[in-house]
């Protein structure tokens, strides 16, 4: 935060995430494992996959996202909620430094319809052109706007009730630094085998998976495990 990568409200969002992680036992639960495999299958089968990175995702998991980008061929783009030209340059340079990869976002010629203010800005060649977008720790408005444009969304968000998770095609309820390397492992397994990727996706039901995460939290609370 002191370096300007994460905003103050970003830190509060991290706190929300930690609370949910605690309720889930600070581990990758079986529902998350299933969602991570489905997320990888979607990335592998996509025509133009894309990873969008905000300040939260950059600060917590830039390196891991860079590795996923290399494995999946999905380019990274920085999109900020609290946007200024200075902060955009700072976060892009930070992610490039951490990953050694080129990151999109310096030239934001596209607009996500339905989003007020500068945070609607994105790149034409990245986010606007993508069919499948991975959105770690994203806010609900932007997720909804992407879905309205016909994009398939993979969220990574520890709150099973968040609008982002409710909007996503695949909702990964797991801590971002555990989720991303696991998706990368699955990408490596599935990328040479599109039939298996299709079968993983066909057997995955997102709403059912999210409901099961909620049941798990309720059960753990009732049983006094947390």
Q: How far is the CB of 32 from ligand ATP (least distance, A)?
A: 10
Are 57 and 157 in contact by the 8 Å Cβ rule? The answer is no
Closer to ligand ATP by Cβ: residue 10 or 105: 10
Among 6, 7, 20, 180, binds ligand ATP (CB under 6 A): 20
Q: Residue 217: how many CB atoms within 10 A of its CB? A: 18
Q: State the DSSP code for 112.
A: -
Question: Min. distance of Cβ 13 from ligand ATP in angstroms?
Answer: 4
Residue 49 tokens, joined: 């996959």
Q: Tell the smallest beta-carbon distance from residue 171 to ligand ATP (Å).
A: 10
Determine if 159 is a binding residue for ligand ATP (CB under 6 A): yes
Task: Tell me if 94 contacts ligand ATP by CB under 6 A.
Answer: no
Interface with ligand ATP includes 160 (CB under 6 A)? no
Task: Say whether 167 sits in a helix, a strand or coil.
Answer: helix
**Are 135 and 155 contacting, i.e. CB atoms less than 8 angstroms apart?**
yes
- The distance of Cα 49 from the centroid of its chain, to the nearest Å, equals 12
Structure tokens at 12: 């509060």
Q: Given the rule CB under 6 A, which residues bind ligand ATP? A: 13-14, 16-17, 20, 60, 137, 139-140, 156-159, 162-164, 175-176
């Amino acid at each position: 935060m002191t370096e300007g990568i994460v905003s103050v409200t970003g830190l509060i969002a991290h706190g929300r995430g930690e609370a949910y992680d605690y309720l889930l036992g600070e581990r990758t639960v079986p529902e998350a494992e299933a969602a991570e495999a489905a997320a990888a299958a979607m990335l592998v089968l996509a025509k133009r996959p894309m990873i969008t990175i905000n300040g939260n995702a950059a600060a917590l998991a830039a390196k891991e996202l860079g590795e996923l980008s290399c494995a999946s061929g999905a380019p990274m783009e920085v999109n900020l909620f609290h946007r200024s030209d200075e902060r955009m340059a700072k976060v892009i340079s930070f992610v490039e430094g951490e990953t050694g990869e080129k990151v999109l976002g310096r030239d934001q010629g596209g607009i996500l319809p339905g989003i007020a203010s500068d945070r609607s800005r994105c790149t034409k060649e990245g986010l606007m052109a993508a069919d499948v977008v991975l959105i770690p720790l994203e806010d609900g408005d932007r997720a909804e706007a992407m879905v309205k444009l016909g994009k398939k969304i993979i969220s990574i968000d520890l709150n099973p009730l968040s609008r982002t998770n409710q909007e996503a095609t695949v909702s990964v309820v797991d801590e971002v630094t555990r989720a991303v390397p696991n998706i990368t492992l699955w990408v490596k397994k599935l990328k040479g085998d599109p039939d298996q990727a299709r079968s993983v996706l066909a057997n995955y039901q997102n709403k059912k998976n999210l409901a099961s995460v909620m049941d798990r939290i309720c059960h753990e609370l009732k049983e006094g495990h947390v």
